[in-house]
Amino acid sequence: MTEMVYGAVAAKPGEPLLPRWWRTIDRWSLGAVAGLFLVGLMLGLAASPPLAARNGLDPFYYVFRQGLFGTLALGVMVLVSMMSPTEIRRKAVLGFLAATVALALLPVLGTDFGKGATRWYSLGFASVQPSEFLKPTFVAFAAWMMAGSYDQSGPPGRTLSFIVAVLLTLMLALQPDFGQASLILATWALMYFVAGASILLLLVVAFGVLGAGLFAYANSEHVAGRIDGFLSPDIDPRTQIGFATNAIQEGGIFGVGVGEGTVKWSLPDAHTDFIIAVAAEEYGLLICLLIIALFSIVVIRSLIRLLRERDPFVRLAGTGLAVVFGMQALINLGVAVRLLPAKGMTLPFISYGGSSLVAAGISLGMLLALTRERPQDHLSEIIGRGR
């Protein structure tokens, strides 16, 4: 009966950190993340050698770096998952401020690596993309602001978080990075819906997004080209979408065989944005279903565990982190099968990329920390604090 009221039993007196962490963590989600990382390494072995050959590097250069950054990401994930919600909130807010400053300085200190969008800082041995670290920290910041609005004497957190979300969206759109901008705004909208949405404000946001999209379409050849290509009934076989679509069709259910795929020699982003095309061609539909199942395990189990959470910050931040993780995967997969316009977004824990991997490790570590079993306040105590 106690667990039905309070959610989970309290920590055992004197219990060491690691046993308590293992007892309270969602081991299914932990295993699913490890599975995604292993699948990513396997696909890296297939997708990255052509890129290494073009750059005159060792065939498995990018696989080694993927393993290095992935191991670092998993280590960071475990360490972050051991933190308390209070530690998560404090460190994430500081991280959000640092990521926002880094994002603001990109036009001055950043580089585009010849891709036409200034999104990275070059460190020589590696590059850093601030927007990857902005996503999980913004979620925690927005959740903190929204949770504060539950108190009668608290700040107008929902309105303030909306203003911050709009400013970040504009900063990302100016890079231009419409994919990350859309993800930030959509995540805020879903968190706001969970927090108790004002339908009027959501309608304003929806019409604002529509207006911004029409403006971008009319004034940006880059955006117009992607939208026209998406809406066209014919697929240009020489484009990335054309190569990816053909590869997915060729793969069928069981694939053409390990190492037998050809799309990795044609796609410049075969190891990042379109790695699912390599998977579908060489391993077939079955591995794609496995990848979708692993992402679904993390998202669904996290949301189920958050249903019994009574702390507003934990509930909102956990929901936002689960949405960011799942929506980024959905966008990447949707682009590859031409359900969405091309956006240039990686597949978490599978695509190559140091910033993407480490940021995903931080994000999943925060999510695992917030979904750990912990004693819950009685509902009357929460209501009493709100008076």
What pLDDT is recorded for position 383? Answer: 47
What pLDDT is recorded for position 6? Answer: 38
| Residue 133 clears pLDDT 80, i.e. is over it | yes
Q: What is the mean pLDDT of the chain?
A: 85
DSSP letters along 51-98, please? Answer: HHHHTT--TTHHHHHHHHHHHHHHHHHHHHHTS-HHHHHHHHHHHHHH
Mean pLDDT: which of 82-91, 166-175, 177-186, 346-355 is highest? Answer: 82-91
| Residue 174 clears pLDDT 80, i.e. is over it | yes
**Tokens representing residue 338 in the block:** 């031409």
Residues 32-61 have a mean pLDDT of 90
**Pick from 360, 260, 256: nearest CA to 37:** 360
Q: What is the pTM of this model?
A: 0.88
Residues 242-259 have a mean pLDDT of 84
Contact at 8 Å (CB) between 145 and 158?
Answer: yes
Mean pLDDT: which of 33-42, 150-159, 272-281 is highest? Answer: 33-42
Residues 59-76 have a mean pLDDT of 92
HEC string of 223-292 equals HHHHHHHHHCCCCCCCCHHHHHHHHHHHHCCCCCCCCCCCHHHCCCCCCCCCHHHHHHHHHCHHHHHHHH
Side chain identity at residue 173, one-letter code: A
What pLDDT is recorded for position 238? Answer: 67
Distance, in Å, from the CA atom of 127 to the CA atom of 121, rounded to the nearest integer, reads 5
Residue 237: band (very low, low, confident or very high) from pLDDT cuts 50, 70, 90: low
**Pick from 279, 298, 299: nearest CA to 289:** 279
Helix axes 354-370, 61-81, angle to 10 degrees: 20
Residue-wise pLDDT for 277-336, tens only, equals: 999 999 999 999 999 999 999 999 999 999 988 899 999 999 999 999 999 999 999 888
What pLDDT is recorded for position 125? Answer: 74
Residues 255-266 have a mean pLDDT of 83
Residues 374-380 have a mean pLDDT of 58
What pLDDT is recorded for position 182? Answer: 87
Residues 206-217 have a mean pLDDT of 77
What pLDDT is recorded for position 12? Answer: 65
| Residue 376 clears pLDDT 70, i.e. is over it | no
| Residue 71 clears pLDDT 90, i.e. is over it | yes
What pLDDT is recorded for position 179? Answer: 83
Residue 176: band (very low, low, confident or very high) from pLDDT cuts 50, 70, 90: confident
Beta-bridge mates of residue 128: 121
Task: Report residue 58: phi and psi, to 5°.
Answer: -55, 140
**Tokens representing residue 327 in the block:** 């929506």
Half-sphere exposure of 368 (CA within 13 A, CB side): 30
Contact at 8 Å (CB) between 267 and 276?
Answer: no
Residue-wise pLDDT for 304-315, tens only, equals: 999 988 899 999
| Residue 254 clears pLDDT 90, i.e. is over it | no
Residues 207-222 have a mean pLDDT of 75
Lowest mean pLDDT among 153-167, 230-244, 246-260: 230-244
